[in-house]
Amino acid sequence: PADMDEITAIAKKHGLLVIEDACQAFGASYKGRPVGSIGDAACFSFFPTKNLGTLGDGGMVTISDPDAARQLRTLRTHGTSKKYFHDKIGFNSRLDELHAAAL
Q: Which of 67, 23, 29 is nearest to 49 (CA)?
A: 23
- Pair 95, 46: CB distance under 8 Å: yes
Predicted confidence (pLDDT) per residue in 18-66, tens digit: 999 998 888 899 999 999 999 999 999 887 777 777 777 778 899 989 9
Q: What is the pLDDT of residue 100?
A: 78
Which pLDDT band, with edges at 50, 70 and 90, does 4 fall under?
very high
pTM, 2 dp: 0.75
Say which residues have a Cβ less than 8 Å from residue 68's Cβ, sequence separation at least 6: 41
DSSP 24-42: T-TT-EETTEETTSSSSEE
Predicted confidence (pLDDT) per residue in 30-42, tens digit: 999 999 999 999 9
